[in-house]
Amino acid sequence: MNEAFESLKTAEKAYGGPMYYGFSVSVGPDGKPMISEFGNVRPGLKGPELREEISPLVDVMDGKDRVTVFAELPGVDKKEIDLKVSEDSLTISVNKERRKYYKEVSLPVSVKPETAKASYRNGVLEVSIEKAGKVSGKSIPVE
């Protein structure tokens, strides 16, 4: 255990930024618990690995007519957020010099990518997409 923490301290000094790791537990549509990890530390073969890209904390809400995805992206401007949506997934990425985020979110149902709307306030991104048929992917502007 001490070796793992020492390797993380060395990696943090080389990276020059903060390290964090967390997980979120929620109940899926089938009633089973779902565990979602976030942060920039990931398990590796030789202990924890520090990554440049941060996996943001994400929550997916399956509503009656829409799927809504919330993601925490502190420290970025809305112009730096790149979103791609397809009928079954949403990709969130930010490639800023000092802060990089990346997360591919599997959606619980098929959606209409052309209906996607995104807003960003106080470090929280909200993407809302109507449920339904299959259409090819598209980029989404952030309001």
Look up the CATH number of domain 56-143.
2.60.40.790
Q: What is the pTM of this model?
A: 0.76
- Rounded to 5°, angle at Cα 100 from 98 and 102: 175
**Domain coordinates in residue numbering, the chain:** 1-54, 56-143
Q: Give, for all 143 residues of the chain, the pLDDT tens digit.
A: 677 667 666 666 655 567 778 888 888 777 888 888 888 887 778 767 777 888 999 999 988 899 999 999 998 999 999 999 999 999 999 998 878 999 999 999 999 999 999 999 999 999 999 997 544 566 777 87
- Dihedral angle sign, alpha carbons of residues 56, 9, 43, 22: negative
